[in-house]
């Protein structure tokens, strides 16, 4: 009884077979079928290799949300060289809350030579070339995000030559922590002093002829310092054409959370517009000579996440490629074979011409082919 039930179950399962087997004696092979199969296998191999390269690659996913963190501090990373001696310039931040952050809190003033050495000029040239490519190809920013912490440092390399030239500039570098509100970081003549209505700079003791706000921004970023990330103002150099010249940078800072397979960091991206003008009160161009970076924070926060294709999706796409090529090539081969058979069949029918009929005496005709007789005479 058990064997009978087992046999019935097995027969039922056989009837549900969606892949019936054809005996080998009924299978007919052809040269055209072999050619199509070779093309199909080659195409499948190429597409499989391409799909595997896509599976190995990663991409950056951007998500946007409202930034709800207003209580934390914003870090500003600075590395700027000004073509004036350190005792003549002062740097500080003043935000909309009338809070002043003095440069002594985190910035260092170093005497330096404004002209770069040959190796440093090559570094600056490469940095400016990358900046120009980033403006044309925005997708390169994803490559920079992926290579963070893996690429070489973007900081200014030290001088390789022992120059005997005395320092003629001041390198201001370090970092500051400010409130997460709009503010103004500026470098101008004289050291900053507190003031009941804000702050002021002791510029009266500096000779007007020594004003020279030619500067080079080796690095400027907001948030956590991430090596390998190139910011919009890195490598910028401005040469003043007049003693009374104002350089203005209007910066919009966007909080950014970066999550890749290598790092996770809370940093900030920013966009910038530049303006420069000569101060001439007689012509109506008012202001103070110096370098002014006015920044404002965006209310949106960007989350950048590196993603990878899951294995199940890669497997489904691979099965689709193999099955689709098998089905498509089979259909194309069948259609081509059908067309060829129709054309060849017409040619064969046209090869047979009608035979002349033989009339009988009673008026009927004979359409049969005449029999050949052997002449023995």
pLDDT of 57-80, one tens digit each?
A: 888 888 888 988 877 888 999 999
More confident residue, 29 or 269: 269
Which of 18, 27, 262, 233 minimizes the C-alpha distance to 135? Answer: 233
CA 296 to chain centre: 26
pLDDT of 161-210, one tens digit each?
A: 766 778 889 999 999 888 888 889 989 887 777 666 666 677 667 777 78
Other beta carbons within 10 angstroms of residue 60's beta carbon come to 17
How much is the pLDDT for 122? 87
Under 8 Å CB-to-CB from 290, ≥6 apart: which residues? 186, 187, 188, 189, 213, 246, 247
Round to whole Å and give the CA distance between 92 and 184.
8
pLDDT of 298-317, one tens digit each?
A: 989 999 888 888 889 889 99
Give the pTM: 0.69
pLDDT of 19-50, one tens digit each?
A: 666 666 656 667 777 787 888 888 888 988 99
Residue keyed to tokens 């926060």: 301
The terminus-to-terminus CA distance of the chain in angstroms comes to 85
How much is the pLDDT for 376? 46
**Which pair of structure tokens corresponds to residue 292?**
């002014």
The proportion of the chain whose per-residue pLDDT surpasses 70, expressed as a percent, equals 76
Output the CA–CA distances (angstroms, integers) from residue 336 to 39, 151, 346, in the order listed: 15, 55, 16
How much is the pLDDT for 253? 93
How much is the pLDDT for 349? 60
pLDDT of 258-268, one tens digit each?
A: 888 877 888 88
Phi, psi of 67 (to 5 degrees): -80, 115
Residue 377 has pLDDT above 50, yes or no: no
pLDDT of 222-232, one tens digit each?
A: 988 887 788 88
Round to whole Å and give the CA distance between 216 and 51.
46
Q: Confidence band (pLDDT; 50, 70, 90) for 160?
A: confident
pLDDT of 284-301, one tens digit each?
A: 778 788 999 999 999 899
Residue 369 has pLDDT above 60, yes or no: no
pLDDT of 77-117, one tens digit each?
A: 999 999 998 888 888 888 877 666 665 568 899 998 888 88
Residue 251 has pLDDT above 90, yes or no: yes
How much is the pLDDT for 265? 80
Under 8 Å CB-to-CB from 299, ≥6 apart: which residues? 66, 67
pLDDT of 342-356, one tens digit each?
A: 887 766 665 555 555
Mean pLDDT confidence for 120-145: 77
How much is the pLDDT for 159? 78
Mean pLDDT confidence for 115-137: 82
């Amino acid at each position: 009884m058990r064997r009978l039930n087992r046999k019935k179950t097995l027969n039922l399962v056989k009837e549900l077979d969606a892949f019936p087997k054809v005996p080998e004696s009924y299978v007919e092979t052809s040269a055209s079928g072999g050619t199509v199969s070779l093309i199909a296998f080659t195409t499948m191999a190429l597409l499989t290799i391409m799909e595997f390269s896509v599976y190995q690659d990663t991409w950056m996913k951007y998500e946007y949300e409202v930034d709800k963190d207003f209580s934390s501090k914003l870090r500003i990373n600075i590395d700027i060289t000004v073509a004036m001696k350190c005792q003549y310039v002062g740097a500080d931040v003043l935000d909309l809350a009338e809070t002043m952050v003095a440069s002594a809190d985190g910035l260092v003033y170093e005497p330096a030579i404004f002209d770069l050495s040959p190796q440093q000029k090559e570094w600056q040239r490469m940095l400016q070339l990358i900046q120009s490519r980033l403006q044309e190809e925005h997708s390169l920013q994803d490559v920079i995000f992926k290579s963070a912490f893996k690429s070489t440092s973007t900081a200014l390399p030290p001088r390789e030559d022992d120059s005997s030239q005395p320092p003629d500039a001041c390198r201001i570098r370090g970092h500051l922590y400010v409130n997460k509100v709009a503010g103004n970081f500026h470098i101008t003549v004289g050291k900053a002093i507190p003031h009941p209505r804000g702050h002021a700079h002791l510029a009266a003791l500096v000779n007007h002829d020594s004003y020279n706000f030619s500067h080079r921004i080796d690095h400027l970023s907001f948030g956590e310092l991430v090596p390998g990330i190139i910011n919009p103002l890195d490598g910028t150099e401005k040469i003043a054409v007049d003693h009374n010249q104002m350089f203005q940078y209007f910066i919009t800072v966007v909080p950014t959370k970066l999550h890749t397979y290598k790092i996770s960091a809370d940093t900030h991206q920013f966009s910038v517009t530049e303006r420069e003008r000569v101060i001439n009160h007689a012509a109506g161009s008012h202001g103070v000579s110096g370098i002014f970076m006015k920044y404002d924070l965006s209310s949106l926060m960007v989350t950048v996440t590196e993603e990878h294709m899951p294995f199940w999706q890669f497997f489904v796409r691979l099965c689709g490629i193999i099955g689709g090529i098998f089905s498509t090539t089979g259909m194309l081969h069948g259609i081509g074979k059908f067309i060829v058979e129709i054309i060849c069949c017409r040619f064969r029918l046209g090869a047979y011409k009608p035979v002349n009929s033989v009339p009988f005496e009673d008026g009927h005709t004979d359409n049969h082919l005449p029999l050949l007789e052997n002449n023995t005479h």
